[in-house]
Amino acid sequence: MSKEKLNDLQHEIRGIEIVLNEAKHKFKALQLSMINAALDGHKHEGCACGVELPRRLLVSDWDCPTSPIGSCVYNLAQDPWHDECLFCEEPEERK
pLDDT in tens, 18-44: 999 888 877 877 877 777 777 665 444
- Please tell me whether residue 13 adopts helix, strand or coil conformation: helix
90 within domain boundaries: no
Q: What is this structure's pTM?
A: 0.50
Q: Indicate the residue type of 30.
A: L
Domain with 23 in it: 3-75
Nearest-angstrom CA–CA distance, 87 and 26: 23
81 within domain boundaries: no
**What is the chain's mean pLDDT, rounded?**
79
| Total number of domains constituting the chain | 1
State pLDDT tens for residues 60-69: 888 999 888 8
Nearest-angstrom CA–CA distance, 81 and 33: 22
